[in-house]
Structure 1
Amino acid sequence: MTGLHERHLAVSPEWLSLYYRRPLELTRGEGRHVWDADGNRYLDFFGGILTTMTAHALPEVTKAVSEQAGRIIHSSTLHLNRPLVELAERVASLSGIPDARVFFTTSGTEANDTALLLATAHRGSNQILAMRNSYHGRSFSAVSVTGNRSWSPTAFSPLQTMYVHGGVRHRGPYADLGDAEFIEACVADLEDLLGHIRTPAALIAEPVQGVGGFTSPPDGLYAAFREVLDRHGVLWISDEVQTGWGRTGDHFWGWQAHARNGPPDILTFAKGIGNGMSIGGVVARADVMNCLDAHSISTFGGSPVTMAAGLANLSYLLEHDLQGNARRVGGLLIERLRAAGARSPAVREVRGRGLMIGIELVRPGTDDADPDAASAVLEAARAGGLLIGKGGGHDTSVLRVAPPLSLTVAEAEEGAEILADALRAAG
């Protein structure tokens, strides 16, 4: 155990977990690579939990941060903030939400917390619908709408939450149905639930469940849900903290895979937009955003420095078509990982779209989750020079692969080879 690890344990809560038997101290990053304190170089396929979206030490972002810090670092929302207004204008336009208003926060958790506040105030209800296996953050309200027991440490809540089917395609009571029948069954479950309760304020859902192991329903499920929700006056909150900004390749936002009847009422975002800087936010229709009848500010949300980073990062992403790169290179990576998975009896499924890929591991010959195997592959991948993540609603048995969106074909091939070797080494 290193001295820094010992110091960490001495001052940190026990539930603040670290990856690896010998935790890493990352000291430098460049492009799609990072270096640890011992000088070891790694290909980064997790990007600080999907946060380093474009690249480590991206010159355009570094320059924007440095220049803004040299002018003024902080002012709060009590004063006009040009970078905030400029980024809000761009996000509002890209969101697809008509007459959109944008509120910046410092994290995805805080963004979802704000969305829940808006929805419950607008609808006059503290009832929330959420998806099974979901994750929405670590605040008191966000934990209470998280449908993943591993990440929900308390049953106490300011909200009354009810969980519906649909977020996990290949497990649960509808797993054996075809896509159309799966959607029909999930809609029927939602209709039945709404027939037994008072009208809830909103449904909050991740288009692709992140912490839950990169699971997703068939395209069109949330469009079908939306038809039911609209009849009952229930808002739809799309949690785009992990799916936004083109990561899925096919779409700029995850909700667009379910776009038959338009955008969500509320959209939340965070992670990748700051490329490592602390940015979150909420986009909503003006009538929803303006429903609060009390004063509110954000001390750190929308700080000039983070907004400058977000503007530079978003410009780089759009100008270099990183969504298209995620589609092209992500398609290649999924193909390579599926080929590797087919050779391993421990791999139940390789799933995903774009550069958001999950590899679910089970005990060979069974359908039982195998978190020990996931940990072993994580260690073996690190030994081979590759960093990945873990997740899943079944005892953290899913390997999460989410590189920066500027990943090259050569790096995708290299990472897939390392991960194939790690799957073999872990048995």
Structure 2
Amino acid sequence: MNDDLLGRHRAVLPDWLALYYDEPLEITHGEGRHVWDAQGNRYLDFFGGILTTTTAHALPEVTKAVTEQAGRIIHSSTLYLNRPMVDLAERIAQLSGIPDARVFFTTSGTEANDTALLLATAYRRSNTILAMRNSYHGRSFSAVGVTGNRGWSPTSLSPLQTLYVHGGVRGRGPFAHLDDYDFVAACVDDLKDLLGHTRPPAALIAEPIQGVGGFTSPPDGLYAAFREELHERGVLWISDEVQTGWGRTGEHFWGWQAHARSGPPDMLTFAKGIGNGMSIGGVVARAEIMNCLDANSISTFGGTQITMAAGLANLTYLLEHDLQGNARRVGGLLIERLRAAAAHVPAVREVRGRGLMIGIELTKPGTDEADPAAASAVLEAARAGGLLIGKGGGHDTSALRVAPPLSLNVAEAEEGAAILEDALRSIQ
């Protein structure tokens, strides 16, 4: 580790800017599903810069598109026509499933969710928002205000009145003992009761699979059942697809499609994987919602030419190589391999997820008590074995997060699973 770089980091950056590992890692370059640190150590990357390197590190098609665009023009702002932005917006609008869709580009998922909340509150003329317990929606003042995860919510102050709904976590809480059908029914009843005690909200914002929350999710169909209740009252549904989008779940291109009984959401937000590391976020909404603002607005850096060129190349590669299908096939094998390994580790409470979005929740053996120290120990042991993973969870960060690039092959999945199995066994 470069001690001088760590000292400089600590001297000039905020204390709350989290770093992984007892000896933080400087990643200098990557290729495919691997990255290298400043000491030349190679790692299999099962976290992809927090689900952002969605296809592969140093993907030649993206590198070429960025290089060629940089040689023409990098940026001009939204005050001028921008062909790459229009090209990518057309493709995303068509893929979104939202009728008469409009797309607004931002620079991050936080800013995308912030924009969706602005649109919803302006359209509905209400500042009441429904959000899910254990949720995470970003770092801005408004996004923190709808985040239901105490570990990522540094203030209770907010421009919004937020009401938190049951259902985002299947295996914990007052309804965990119910079967899926009764779980959904109980969550819907709770929502109906909540709606009866408040003025009509602007929207429900929900992650189909909670990312920072530890890759937890409700039974399929929950948000469709919520949507039916909300639609009757004119309440919008915002699907936060920052982590679930672009085929990562394998079964679907968007997370909302697991809850598709009542059709697409009114809005979806996206970021992370579309840029393969370039800073792209955005909102897709029906035209009447997107166009409801009655004041001028622009985005200086949202939709800039160089990021749009990267997004177009990355999306094209992802679709042409059926990386969603690969996530389903290889992810299914990886989940089964990890479940088999976890069966011999008493500290593993659950292995969950779908596609290449997999969570491993750790507790103190024989209890439901979260064990964040065990999660940190596994993170360190995996690194020592040559594997990078993440962690999260609503219960003191006791869940491991596994989310490799979607081009992961079977041999790499087996290699990573073997390293992770050894890391899990090391904490016994």
Match of 1:3 in 2: 4
Looking at structure 1, the residues matched to 163 and 262 of structure 2 have their Cα atoms a distance apart, in angstroms, of: 24
Superposed, which structure 2 residues align to 1:192-203 within 5 Å? 192-203=193-204
- The structural deviation recorded for 1:261 is 1.1
Per-residue CA deviation, residues 285-306 of structure 1 (Å, 9 max, x unaligned), is 0000000000000000000000
Long gaps (5+) in structure 2: none
Match of 2:133 in 1: 132
AA partner of residue 360 (structure 1):
E
- The structural deviation recorded for 1:425 is 1.0
Per-residue CA deviation, residues 335-379 of structure 1 (Å, 9 max, x unaligned), is 000001101000000000000000000001111000000000000
Superposed, which structure 2 residues align to 1:100-119 within 5 Å? 100-119=101-120
Match of 2:28 in 1: 27
Match of 2:52 in 1: 51
Residue 76 of structure 2 corresponds to residue 75 of structure 1: yes
Match of 2:312 in 1: 311
Superposed, which structure 2 residues align to 1:52-201 within 5 Å? 52-201=53-202
- The structural deviation recorded for 1:386 is 0.0
Match of 1:17 in 2: 18
Match of 2:259 in 1: 258
Residue 297 of structure 2 corresponds to residue 296 of structure 1: yes
Looking at structure 2, the residues matched to 315 and 74 of structure 1 have their Cα atoms a distance apart, in angstroms, of: 22
- The structural deviation recorded for 1:69 is 0.3
Match of 1:403 in 2: 404
Per-residue CA deviation, residues 210-252 of structure 1 (Å, 9 max, x unaligned), is 0000000000000000000001110000000000000000000
AA partner of residue 213 (structure 2):
G
Looking at structure 1, the residues matched to 297 and 358 of structure 2 have their Cα atoms a distance apart, in angstroms, of: 38
Per-residue CA deviation, residues 247-288 of structure 1 (Å, 9 max, x unaligned), is 000000000000001100000000000000000000000000
Looking at structure 2, the residues matched to 393 and 304 of structure 1 have their Cα atoms a distance apart, in angstroms, of: 38
Secondary structure of 2:284's aligned partner: strand
Looking at structure 1, the residues matched to 90 and 233 of structure 2 have their Cα atoms a distance apart, in angstroms, of: 31
- The structural deviation recorded for 1:76 is 0.2
Secondary structure of 2:360's aligned partner: strand
Looking at structure 2, the residues matched to 411 and 398 of structure 1 have their Cα atoms a distance apart, in angstroms, of: 22
Looking at structure 2, the residues matched to 150 and 95 of structure 1 have their Cα atoms a distance apart, in angstroms, of: 31
Secondary structure of 1:216's aligned partner: coil
Match of 2:327 in 1: 326
TM-score, with structure 2 as normaliser: 1.00
AA partner of residue 309 (structure 2):
A
Looking at structure 2, the residues matched to 287 and 264 of structure 1 have their Cα atoms a distance apart, in angstroms, of: 14
Number of residue pairs matched? 427
Looking at structure 2, the residues matched to 399 and 184 of structure 1 have their Cα atoms a distance apart, in angstroms, of: 30
Secondary structure of 2:262's aligned partner: coil
Identity of aligned residues (%): 84
Looking at structure 2, the residues matched to 74 and 220 of structure 1 have their Cα atoms a distance apart, in angstroms, of: 42
Deviation >4 Å, runs of 4+: none
Looking at structure 2, the residues matched to 68 and 149 of structure 1 have their Cα atoms a distance apart, in angstroms, of: 42
AA partner of residue 199 (structure 1):
P
Looking at structure 1, the residues matched to 284 and 320 of structure 2 have their Cα atoms a distance apart, in angstroms, of: 23
Superposed, which structure 2 residues align to 1:33-44 within 5 Å? 33-44=34-45
Long gaps (5+) in structure 1: none
Looking at structure 2, the residues matched to 104 and 365 of structure 1 have their Cα atoms a distance apart, in angstroms, of: 47
Superposed, which structure 2 residues align to 1:211-360 within 5 Å? 211-360=212-361
Secondary structure of 1:288's aligned partner: helix
AA partner of residue 318 (structure 1):
L
Match of 1:377 in 2: 378
Looking at structure 2, the residues matched to 342 and 143 of structure 1 have their Cα atoms a distance apart, in angstroms, of: 36
AA partner of residue 138 (structure 1):
R
Secondary structure of 1:323's aligned partner: helix
CA-based RMSD of the aligned residues comes to: 0.4
Looking at structure 2, the residues matched to 217 and 365 of structure 1 have their Cα atoms a distance apart, in angstroms, of: 24
Looking at structure 2, the residues matched to 47 and 189 of structure 1 have their Cα atoms a distance apart, in angstroms, of: 37
AA partner of residue 215 (structure 2):
F
- The structural deviation recorded for 1:426 is 1.9
AA partner of residue 3 (structure 1):
D
Match of 1:365 in 2: 366
Per-residue CA deviation, residues 103-148 of structure 1 (Å, 9 max, x unaligned), is 0000000000000000000000000000000000000000000000
Secondary structure of 1:366's aligned partner: coil
Looking at structure 1, the residues matched to 228 and 400 of structure 2 have their Cα atoms a distance apart, in angstroms, of: 34
Looking at structure 2, the residues matched to 259 and 424 of structure 1 have their Cα atoms a distance apart, in angstroms, of: 39
Match of 1:390 in 2: 391
TM-score, with structure 1 as normaliser: 1.00
Match of 1:422 in 2: 423
Match of 1:205 in 2: 206
Looking at structure 2, the residues matched to 112 and 366 of structure 1 have their Cα atoms a distance apart, in angstroms, of: 36
AA partner of residue 315 (structure 1):
T
Secondary structure of 1:71's aligned partner: coil
